[in-house]
Amino acid sequence: MKINCLSCGHNVDLDDLYEDYKGQVKCFACSALLEICTEQGHLKSVNFVKIMPRLSVEEAFEHTL
Ligand SMILES: [Zn+2]
């Protein structure tokens, strides 16, 4: 089964393990995290999972002062 990466449009190839799956997969092309939900080999939903930066906004602000 193949899914389209929401970040870069790459066709991510998933093996049979993902035919009944709910969770995160990583795009091989751009390393974006996608949360997918599949059922009996059919894709139900794909969501782009935002990767949070290591620094919070407050911490980043402190470092710029
Ligand atoms: Zn991608």
Q: How far is the CA of 35 from the centre of ligand 1 (A)?
A: 12
Which residue range forms the structural domain that includes residue 47? 2-64
Q: How many domains does the chain have?
A: 1
Residues in the 5 Å CB sphere of ion ligand 1: 5, 7-8, 10, 27, 29-30, 32
Q: Which segments within 1-65 are labelled E, that is strand? A: 2-4, 11-13, 22-26, 33-39, 42-49
Nearest to 46 by CA among 56, 58, 32, 57: 32
pLDDT computed for residue 53 by the predictor: 59
pLDDT digits (tens, 9 = 90+) for 4-55: 999 999 999 999 999 999 999 999 899 899 999 999 999 999 998 876 556 5
- In 9-40, which positions are buried (b, 16+ CB within 10 angstroms) versus exposed (e)? ebebeeeeebeebeeebebeeeebebebebee
Q: How far is the CA of 60 from the centre of ligand 1 (A)?
A: 27
Is a pLDDT exceeding 60 seen at residue 65? Answer: no
